[in-house]
Structure 1
Amino acid sequence: MIQLMSVHFDHFIPNWRTQMEKIGHNVLVLVTEGKVRYDINGSEVVAERGELLYIPKSTRRSGENWAGTPHQKYTVLFNLDCELPTGVPFLDRKQFLRFRLAHFPYAQRRCERLYEEMRGSKSFRELICLGIVQELFGILSRELEKPEVTPMKMKYAQTVRQYLLEHYREPIEIGQLARLIRRSPNYTTALFKEVFGQSPIRYMHQLRVLEACNLLLNSDMTIASISQYLGYYDTSYFFRIFKKYSSMSPGEFIARGRPSDLSQLFS
């Protein structure tokens, strides 16, 4: 049984530091920007953006900004019923874990939603928060089952991903991405799927739809203008893509007007 205690969001806190102590709870840390240094049972651990740490109860732990530079992270504190197995392998082993998430953007949005829910007082808050935490445990457990990606493969995949993040509004073809890493188009697609769970082109469309959602809610641009801005010169095609990834039309999304729905676009 998981007992959620609290969720914290450290947003570039100057001189952040936590003293060495034997912690009386379990901790899940997702670093979203910068680096953070921990002492875990006498060993130095420097975690950076995209990495998740599981620090089990009774660990001797201290923490501080790495090299004096502030960082950003979500921290989830929780307890477990020690008498019963959870069915989550990394929790039941009760060992420190450090892992780089392939689906980091989605996990970050779920942590953001968890933090918002924990600070609110809406009905069924505890049920929703427990569901989000269980989902995060499931995502991590599933990724831990996969064969480890080699550093070179991760470097290639990150190179392609960074290019997509910077150029998603432009026309992009697989051959173009393949040339970035000097590999074949088939290899590039397979590699990206292995690391991020989807093809580069699908990821590009998701980035466009996410930006479309932001513009629909926070700008006075027309749907046709947004379509052109995002590189969809056929508005009807933009409508089809938007509905494919959001399960609703642009007009329906505007009518609902709930930014929290954005987390469902990347699953």
Structure 2
Amino acid sequence: MIQLMSVNFDDHIPNWRTQLETIQYNVLVVVREGKVKYEINGEEIIAEEEDVLFIPQSTRRSGGNWNGIPHRKYTILFTTDPHVPTGIPFLGGGQCLKFNLAHIQYAYRRCERLFEEMRGGKSYRSMICQGIMQELLGMLARELEKTELPPSKRNYADTIKSYLLDHYREPIEIDKLAKLIHRSPNYATALFKEVYGHSPIRYMHQLRVLEACSLLLHSDMTIAHIAHYLGYYDTSYFYRMFKKYTGLSPSDYVQQGDRSDVSKLFT
């Protein structure tokens, strides 16, 4: 049985730190931006953007901003009943683990939903929070079962991903991505899909649509302006891509507002 204690979102806290202590609960850290430094049982561990860190109960732990630079992360504190099996092997291992999830953007959305639900008072809140937490832990357990990728493959895929994060608003050509790692276009596409679960072009569209969701809700830009800003010079094509990944038209998404769950973008 998993018992949630709290879910926190640290958003660029200037002097964030936790004192050195032996914790009596498990901690799941999901870093969204920047880096965070922990001392865990005498060992320094740096978790950065897109890292997920599991710190088990009875660990001696302290933490703080890396080099004094604020970061953004979700921190989930929870306990388990030692007499009730969870079905999640790593929870009973007593080891600190650092993960790289193929679907990290989806994990961000689930953490965001969990954070919101924990602070709400709607019916079935406890059941929904339990479901989200079990899903996150299941994703991590599945990640541990994957065959370990050679470091070279991970590095190649990370190189392509970093380029896409910086240039997703620009036209993306597979040939150019392949040249980044000095491999063929077919190899680059297959490699990226092996590591992250989808093609580079799909990932580009996901990033564009995710930003479109934010701009639709939090800017005064028109739909046509947003489409052009994100590299869709045909507004009708932007409409098709947006509906493909969210299930809604841009106008319908605005009407639903913050109630819309864009986590489906990364399934």
Same fold (TM over 0.5): yes
* CA–CA distance in structure 1, aligned partners of residues 152 and 244 of structure 2: 33
Deviates more, 1:251-260 or 1:170-179: 251-260
Counterpart for residue 162 of structure 1 = 162
* CA–CA distance in structure 2, aligned partners of residues 260 and 252 of structure 1: 10
2:149 paired with 1:149 = yes
Counterpart for residue 231 of structure 1 = 231
1:176 to partner: Cα distance: 1.8
Contact 1:113/1:260, CA 8 A, preserved across alignment: no
Contact 1:210/1:265, CA 8 A, preserved across alignment: yes
1:50 to partner: Cα distance: 1.8
Secondary structure class of the residue paired with 1:257: helix
1:191 to partner: Cα distance: 1.3
2:53 paired with 1:28 = no
Q: What is the number of equivalent residue pairs in this alignment?
A: 267
* CA–CA distance in structure 2, aligned partners of residues 254 and 70 of structure 1: 31
Aligned-partner residue type, residue 184 of structure 1: S
Counterpart for residue 198 of structure 2 = 198
Change (3 A) 1:174 1:152: same
Aligned-partner residue type, residue 132 of structure 1: I
Contact 2:206/2:245, CA 8 A, preserved across alignment: yes
Counterpart for residue 3 of structure 1 = 3
Contact 2:51/2:98, CA 8 A, preserved across alignment: yes
Contact 1:28/1:55, CA 8 A, preserved across alignment: yes
Q: Please give the per-residue CA displacement for 1:126-169, whole angstroms capped at 9, x wherever unaligned.
A: 22221221111121112221122333322222221222222222
Aligned-partner residue type, residue 88 of structure 2: V
2:73 paired with 1:69 = no
Which blocks of at least 5 consecutive residues in structure 2 are unaligned?
none
Change (3 A) 1:209 1:33: closer
Change (3 A) 1:92 1:230: same
Aligned-partner residue type, residue 155 of structure 1: N
2:78 paired with 1:78 = yes
2:12 paired with 1:16 = no
Aligned-partner residue type, residue 133 of structure 1: M
Q: Please give the per-residue CA displacement for 1:178-200, whole angstroms capped at 9, x wherever unaligned.
A: 11221110111011112211100
Counterpart for residue 40 of structure 1 = 40
* CA–CA distance in structure 2, aligned partners of residues 259 and 109 of structure 1: 13
Q: Please give the per-residue CA displacement for 1:80-115, whole angstroms capped at 9, x wherever unaligned.
A: 110121111211323221222232222122222222
Contact 1:53/1:99, CA 8 A, preserved across alignment: yes
Q: Please give the per-residue CA displacement for 1:18-75, whole angstroms capped at 9, x wherever unaligned.
A: 2222211111112223322222223222222222121111222222333333333221
Change (3 A) 1:181 1:61: same
* CA–CA distance in structure 2, aligned partners of residues 213 and 15 of structure 1: 31
* CA–CA distance in structure 2, aligned partners of residues 15 and 228 of structure 1: 39
Change (3 A) 1:40 1:249: same
Contact 2:253/2:260, CA 8 A, preserved across alignment: no
Counterpart for residue 88 of structure 1 = 88
RMSD: 2.1
Aligned-partner residue type, residue 51 of structure 1: D
Aligned-partner residue type, residue 197 of structure 2: G
Deviates more, 1:174-183 or 1:109-118: 109-118
Contact 1:33/1:73, CA 8 A, preserved across alignment: yes
1:260 to partner: Cα distance: 4.5
* CA–CA distance in structure 1, aligned partners of residues 241 and 9 of structure 2: 34
* CA–CA distance in structure 2, aligned partners of residues 233 and 36 of structure 1: 39
Contact 1:209/1:242, CA 8 A, preserved across alignment: yes
Secondary structure class of the residue paired with 1:76: strand
Contact 1:85/1:92, CA 8 A, preserved across alignment: no
Secondary structure class of the residue paired with 1:212: helix
